[in-house]
Structures are given as structure tokens and as C-alpha cells.
Amino acid sequence: MEKFIYYNELYLIYKDLIKNKSILIFDLYYGDNLTMQEIANMKNISKSRVGSIIKNIQNKLDFYESTLHIYENNKRLNKLLEVNNISAIKKEIKLIIKGE
């Protein structure tokens, strides 16, 4: 379930970077929560092809996140909203800006 949530969040962040007709299949799987078999039946392709498309897009999303770190930085910034120590907040923001 955690993996599902992770890729759904990455998809929401990076979907505009993916210029691929098969993004619809990924959207059906993660956005509409359809099974691979349901998507295969709907698109008249094999279940393994659906899995391959989903894996390919997951790899792209992983690449974008490993390069841009938007998801991770959002998590770090959201955690800072709970911190009451202004010095700690400033220190963490400086690290985020430096890319550390």
C-alpha cells in the first residue's frame, strides 16, 4: 500500500513531464485504482503489457525524483511545519536549498 501511495504522489508531481500515450494506463491504475486485468480488458491488451507500461512509468518517476527531489523536499518542508524552533527550521531550509 505504501508503494501505491508513493507512486501516486510522484505521478501527481511529475505527470506533466511524461509525454507518453501510455500515461493513461498508469492513470487508470493509480488514479482510478483499476486492476491490471481490468485495464487490459478495457484497452484490449495483455495484462503483462499493462504491467510493463506501469513499470516503465514508475522507472521514469523514480528517475525524476532522484534528479529533482521534489517529493522528498515537500516531505521535509511539511515536517518543518511542526517544528517550533526557528533555528532548527532555518538550518533545515538551508540544507534543502543546498540540495543536501
pLDDT one-digit tens code per residue, 18-55? 877 788 999 999 889 999 999 999 999 999 999 999 99
**Average pLDDT, stretch 58-84?**
90
pLDDT for 1 beyond 80: no
The owner of cell 480488458 is 41
- Which grid coordinates belong to 72? 522528498
pLDDT for 91 beyond 80: yes
Task: Kindly compute the dihedral angle of the four CA atoms of residues 16, 20, 21, 23, in this order, to the nearest 10 degrees.
Answer: -60
The ranges assigned to domains in the chain are 1-68, 69-100
Report d(CA 56, CA 31) in Å as an integer: 17
Q: Does residue 71 contact residue 15 with C-beta atoms inside 8 Å?
A: no
